[in-house]
Amino acid sequence: MNATPDSRALRRRRQNARLALLKRRTAVASALGFAALFGLVTQHVVKGASAGTAAAPSRRSGTASSSVPFFDANPSGFAFDEGSESAQPQSGASSPPPPVAQTSVS
């Protein structure tokens, strides 16, 4: 299989043409992908901004009416406040120990 100089040049031109086509397709696909991503981000921001202005008055009233703290300081430590009891611990009642976080799973 001896290749003549003409066949080598023809094969080289075909490879260069395929490579150029591949580069163009990659560039177009990248540009379309970034445009789609930019469009999705813009849509998300616009929807979030329009939803944020409508929900802002309800959030303000919700935080103003909620005066019960989420965490309750007990003599034995901090525990989650369920809101069913007063924030001050009762002197006669014994409270259960605070929950312990699980640090490892076996």
Residue ranges of domains in the chain:
1-44
Under the banding of pLDDT at 50, 70 and 90, the label for residue 7 is very high
Q: Give the model's pLDDT for residue 65.
A: 47
pTM: 0.41
Place of tokens 């043409």: 17
Q: Which of 73, 78, 75 is nearest to 94 (CA)?
A: 75
**Average pLDDT estimate for 89-102:** 69
Q: Give the model's pLDDT for residue 49.
A: 83
CA–CA dist 1, 59 (Å, integer): 80
Q: Give the model's pLDDT for residue 55.
A: 47
CA–CA dist 43, 45 (Å, integer): 5
Q: Which of 64, 68, 100 is nearest to 84 (CA)?
A: 68
Phi, psi (deg, nearest 5) at residue 71: -105, 140
> If DSSP codes are grouped into helix, strand and coil, which group holds residue 4?
coil
Q: Which of 39, 20, 42, 41 is nearest to 31 (CA)?
A: 39
